[in-house]
Structure 1
Amino acid sequence: MANFNTHLNGAFAVSGILGLTIYKAGLIDDSGFLICVALGTIGGLLPDLDSDNSTPIKLGFNIASFVFAFGLVMHWRSELSLLSLLLLWLVGYGFMRYVVFRLFTSMTVHRGIIHSVPYMAILGLGLVCLNYYALHNPVNISWFYGLFLFGGAMVHLLLDEMYSVNLSGMTLKRSAGTAMKFYRHQDCWWYLLLYALLALLVFTAPPFAPLWEQLRDPTPWAQLKVGILPTMIENLMYKPK
């Protein structure tokens, strides 16, 4: 399978190209462009959350541990002494970093249900709903954010499948088919739960029609076509003879 740098660079490259395209077409603003690229890059690391020794899971739990400990301190800051707050911070961090992390890694198997298309679709749709219903972002922006997260994850799964092919002998490695999967019989009950949750999110998600209409509108794509090449090159190509 592909390594961490390959997943990071691949997701960043694809997200950057797509993000720059819709930004140049005027479909998102400056901050939307940066957030889309960031979410696409993060999405490219998400499927490896089920790997006990992967960089994303270690980094993610480190950040989550700091945030959890900081939240505890902020909540009790007016009721506890300085020494008690320091102790609370250490206990909170240690609980997340070691107890919860150990439980999570013991309950997950690499390339299990987390490393699957429906799981990533749930994360993408969940982000759409979070942005629209909780953060009150416009519907089109919410969909862009969710789609970029999901798209980055698909880049990850696709890279893993590509790396499962032995090009020298044109044969498949044992890992072939374990990356971009929709179902596995051994985890049938888990997948039933995944698809039930996915159906619920599809039902509750904001309407997709406004984004589809925006994408079908020829105006932004005509604007993109005009500015696709540098002015100097366009002048040389279309210079009257």
Structure 2
Amino acid sequence: MANFHTHITVAAVASVSVSIVLAGAGIINPSFAILLCALGTLGGILPDIDSDHSTSIKIIFHCFAVGLAFLVTFAMLAHYSILISLVVWFGVYFAVLFVIQPIFKQFTVHRGSIHSIPMAIFVGCLSSSFCFYFWSYGARESWLAGIFVTFGFMVHLILDELYSVDLSNAHIKRSFGTACKVYSQHFVIPFAILYGLLSASFFVVPHYTVLKDEIFTLKNYHKIEARLLPSRIKIA
């Protein structure tokens, strides 16, 4: 399988490329393009969160701990003193790292249900909902954020599958098929839970109509087509 450096590099390059295309076509503004690059890169390391000793799990849980601590603290700041808010911030931060993370490690297996296509869709829906309800983004921006997380996630899965094919010795490794999967008989209960969570997430995501009315439209396609290639230089 590809290592951490390869995953984060390829996900970053892919996310930067797509976000520049969208920004260049005027579909998104440059500042939002930077956020999408970050989300796509983060999605590119998310699948390895189920590996107990990977760099991904350390980065992701530290980011999650900081983000959750700020969300809880800012919600309390108007009602409690600064000192209590500081205690709450550090309490949430350390609880995530030393309570939630060990529990997560205990109940996850590398290349299990997390390394799958339904999980890629679920984290995208989760990201869209988070942006919509907590960051107060509009439905269009929230869906784009979720799409980029899913995009980075899928880049990771595809890379793992590509690295499962040894072209030099012309054979397929045993790990082939364990990344881009929709189900595994070895993880029946985790996949049942995952599909349940995915189904539930469809009831809280932003409006679906935005996808066909504002994102995946012929108008946006024509904008990209018009700006993708250099115009011919007219010589007088």
TM-score normalised to structure 2 length: 0.83
The structural deviation recorded for 1:140 is 1.2
Aligned residue identity for 2:204: T
Moved more, 167-176 or 155-164: 167-176
State yes or no: 1:7 paired with 2:10.
Answer: no
For residues 68 and 228 of structure 2, what CA distance do their matches in structure 1 show?
46
Matched pairs, number? 230
The structural deviation recorded for 1:239 is 4.8
For residues 160 and 136 of structure 1, what CA distance do their matches in structure 2 show?
35
Q: How does 1:85-104 map to 2 (within 5 A)?
A: 89=90, 95-104=95-104
In the alignment, which residue of structure 1 is the partner of 2:111? 111
For residues 79 and 209 of structure 1, what CA distance do their matches in structure 2 show?
43
For residues 216 and 59 of structure 1, what CA distance do their matches in structure 2 show?
32
Q: 1:196 to 1:93 in 2, by over 3 A?
A: closer
State yes or no: 1:171 paired with 2:171.
Answer: yes
Aligned residue identity for 1:50: D
Contact 2:69 2:93 in 1 (8 A): yes
The structural deviation recorded for 1:216 is 5.4
CA RMSD in angstroms, aligned pairs only: 3.0
For residues 201 and 214 of structure 1, what CA distance do their matches in structure 2 show?
21
Structure 2's unaligned 5+ residue stretches are none
The structural deviation recorded for 1:62 is 3.6
TM-score normalised to structure 1 length: 0.81
State yes or no: 1:207 paired with 2:196.
Answer: no
Moved more, 164-173 or 148-157: 164-173
For residues 117 and 27 of structure 1, what CA distance do their matches in structure 2 show?
27
The structural deviation recorded for 1:220 is 4.4
Structure 1's unaligned 5+ residue stretches are none
The structural deviation recorded for 1:223 is 4.2
Q: 1:66 to 1:217 in 2, by over 3 A?
A: closer
Based on CA coordinates, which of the two structures has the bigger radius of gyration?
1
Moved more, 155-164 or 120-129: 120-129
The superposition leaves residues 92-130 of structure 1 with CA deviations (integer Å, 9 ceiling, x where unpaired) of: 765543444333222211111111111221111011122
Q: Secondary structure at the match of 1:114?
A: coil
Q: 1:167 to 1:30 in 2, by over 3 A?
A: same
Contact 1:117 1:181 in 2 (8 A): yes
In the alignment, which residue of structure 2 is the partner of 1:228? 228
In the alignment, which residue of structure 1 is the partner of 2:50? 50
The structural deviation recorded for 1:230 is 4.4
Q: Identity across aligned pairs (percent)?
A: 35
Contact 1:68 1:92 in 2 (8 A): yes
Aligned residue identity for 2:146: G
Contact 2:61 2:101 in 1 (8 A): yes
Q: 1:102 to 1:132 in 2, by over 3 A?
A: closer
For residues 169 and 79 of structure 1, what CA distance do their matches in structure 2 show?
61
Q: How does 1:27-46 map to 2 (within 5 A)?
A: 27-46=27-46
For residues 53 and 8 of structure 1, what CA distance do their matches in structure 2 show?
16
